[in-house]
Structure 1
Amino acid sequence: MTSADNDTVKRKEIYKYEAPLALFSMNWSNRPDKKFRLALGSFIEEYANKVYIVQLDEATSEFKTLVTFDHPYPTTKIMWIPDEGSAHPDILATSGDYLRIWKCSERDDATSVKSECLLNNNKNSDFCAPLTSFDWNETDPNLIGTSSIDTTCTIWNLETKQVIGKHSAALTGHVRTQLIAHDKEVYDIAFSKIGSGRDIFASVGADGSVRLFDLRHLEHSTIIYEDSAHNPLLRLAFNKMDHNYIGTMTMDSSDLIILDIRVPGTPVATLKNHRACINGLAWAPHSSIHICTAADDHQALIWDVGQMPRNIEDPILAYTADGEVNQVQWASSQPDWIAICYNNCLEILRV
């Protein structure tokens, strides 16, 4: 990335991977022994999509594809298990028509992936309501929450069942709770680390609201923010270091809204420098005052929001890609690296 005000132009490291298909979903591996490993999901408007697991070879400065596997429909989100201590199996989750759990294995320097379980909360029908997103609880990796176009959020309990006489463990899951979260489609869900770190989550949806839930008291929810024109809210993310703050964005808007859940109703800041609609946001994993946004204007911008609620005029770093940036992820185990996706390209950027 380059200094946004061009006072100094500093060469930063950039590595690029070109996939055979257009890319949408993407996530960094959290494992310390899997540096520069990412999972990528294709986006083509048909059934036969792909997931690529790629890793940067630091010796050659080139990405290599470790494994490719088929995925029905595009992945609306993809996540590695948030397990920096490698205490759990090396598993990956994807959302689309269902929530799918995949297990990644290595043998003789070859990587393989197999489906562990398919989680469907509608047992009474052959039809499913597509999942728009999901989030994996960082405090308790046995919890995954999904959001759906059918107005619901579902919290799943993952379970590992040890198979007697075998070293491998079988993964299964059951619905812990399902609730009608919004009046219209739910577009995103995110767990918070407030309190115990496992009970609080928020969601956004087509009704234009941000709602906060507590797994211990699901009969109540708190509306943190409502768009004045009831425009849909597409994404949300909690500040990684200060979970009082949430970033969210309105459909077809170039602004990012930052909310303080202690002061519901009014944004504490609005970031306005993009020149086309924002597609993604990522809070820094190591700093409470930095956030990255990505948009159709080909730009990824890093902001210092430490002066909130004072107005934030300009980003501190900017990067211009060769296409509309539809995804941005900040590596939790390598906080000096950000990944972006545009067209069929992944780029990782040292910041």
Structure 2
Amino acid sequence: MNSFVSIVQLRDDIGELVETTSFPLDFPANAVGFIPDTENIYPDLLATTSDCLRLWRIVDGKAQPDSVMHNVANMQNSQFGSALTSFDWNEVEPRFIGVSSVDTTCTIYDVEVGAAIGTTKPTAPFTVKTQLIAHDKPVHDIEFSKINGGRDHFATVGADGSARMFDLRHLNHSTIVYEDPQKEKLQRLSWNKQEHYFLALFAENSQEVQILDIRMPCNILCRLRNHNGPVNGIAWAPHSPHHICTAGDDSQALIWDLQHAPRPVEDPILAYTAGGEVNQIHWGPVHSNWIAICFNKTLEILRV
């Protein structure tokens, strides 16, 4: 089956999502994301990860291949690098991308974006800023934190059941901020967009989301337990420190109010039932009343 990425736009005049362009991939993408360029000073770039990290430049509404970087850590025994699991753009330094891999490493790339908007000059080749052994087993997710300015800190979760914090300035050690008591594989993490010490994560095939305050490592602040199937995605509200949306195999997208945590949070404040298992979720940073979910072959925009 062919894999491809579609770029869609909401047409206000007709009130529908319209595909503006699409492009094929050799392997299904497990993460897709535009460069977080709030100052509008970089070219319009889209990153994807699967077998490798790829950049695509959007020019006149069309996607053009820009740069490719294979994970070279384990290429001595193969012509291909190890499969990648996820990535995250650094919002403070958008030229940095952090990538996680099944080979236990994380790599921070400097994409060296220097071309002006409107040109078709390719970006300079990728530069590996640093690569580190992050876990004892595959790393499943990575996300930069805005703690202390947001440029140098990031966290990872992996199959060894741990969540770890790193500082780009001191990569000779990491801080374990959480370890699953049963060593369950941790699947995804997400930082609170306003209160930067709060971290949400969940384990593989788990129906529960844990909320942590990393100032108290390895202690769970509260648990969100209303899903009836494995959780697949988490997204903090970009405009509120107290709200988070979770989604999973039970076809539910649930919004929670954590204002009174660490008191138990028994029920979500809003719930939406999709037409299938929800496998992706994103809370838009610009239109903060929009939440995008994906299920089956469908993308829906929910208005909160």
Change (3 A) 1:90 1:167: closer
Contact 2:43 2:113 in 1 (8 A): no
Q: Aligned residue for 1:28? A: none
2:46 is aligned with 1:89: no
Higher mean Cα deviation, 279-288 or 152-161?
A: 152-161
* Identity among equivalent pairs (%): 50
Q: Cα deviations across residues 264-298 of structure 1 (Å, max 9, x unaligned)?
A: 11110100011111000000000000000001111
Counterparts of 1:168 and 1:49, CA distance in 2: 25
Q: Does 2:9 correspond to 1:59?
A: no
The equivalent residue for 1:74 is 28
Aligned length: 299
In structure 1, runs of 5+ residues without a counterpart are 1-45
Asked whether the equivalents of residues 327 and 340 of structure 1 are also in contact (C-alpha less than 8 Å), the reply is: yes
CA RMSD of aligned residues (A): 1.4
CA distance in structure 2 between the partners assigned to 1:160 and 1:270 by the alignment: 40
What is aligned with 2:57? Answer: 103
| Inter-partner Cα distance in structure 2 for 1:324 and 1:98 | 27
Amino acid at match of 2:286: S
Q: Kindly indicate whether the alpha-carbon contact (under 8 Å) linking 2:43 and 2:115 is maintained by their aligned counterparts in 1.
A: no
Instruction: Compute the displacement of 1:145 (Å).
Output: 0.2
| 2:69 maps to which of 112, 116, 119 | 119
Partner of residue 287 from structure 1, selected from 240, 247, 258? 240
Contact 1:302–1:317 (CA<8 Å) still a contact in 2? yes
Amino acid at match of 2:21: V
Secondary structure of 2:293's match?
strand
Superposed CA offset, 1:215-260 (max 9, x none): 0110110000000010000000100011100000011110000111
Q: How does 1:1-351 map to 2 (within 5 A)?
A: 48-106=2-60, 111-122=61-72, 124=76, 125-162=78-115, 167-171=119-123, 172-351=125-304
The residue type paired with residue 318 of structure 1 is A
CA distance, structure 1, for counterparts of residue 257 and residue 142 of structure 2: 24
**Distance (whole Å) between structure 1 residues aligned to residue 136 and residue 196 of structure 2:** 25
Partner of 1:268: helix, strand, or coil? strand
CA shift for structure 1 position 85: 2.4
**What stretches of structure 1 move > 6 A for 4+ residues in a row?**
none
Deviations 1:298-336 (A, max 9, x none): 100000001111110100000001101111100000000
Question: Would you say the 8 A contact 1:161–1:170 is kept in 2?
Answer: no
Give the Cα separation in 1 of the matches to 2:96 and 2:114: 16
Q: Which amino acid aligns with 2:149?
A: S
Corresponding residue of 1:6 = none
Q: Distance in 1 between matches of 2:26 and 2:65?
A: 12
Partners of 1:333 and 1:84 in 2: how far apart? 9
8 Å CA contact retained: 1:84, 1:333: no
Instruction: Check whether the contact 1:161–1:169 (CA below 8 A) recurs between aligned residues.
Output: no
For 1:51 and 1:331, the matched residues in 2 are separated by 18
Q: Which runs of 5+ in 2 are unaligned?
A: none
Cα drift, residue 168 of structure 1 = 3.4
Instruction: Name the SS of the counterpart of 1:300 in structure 2.
Output: strand
How many Å apart are 1:169 and its aligned residue? Answer: 3.3
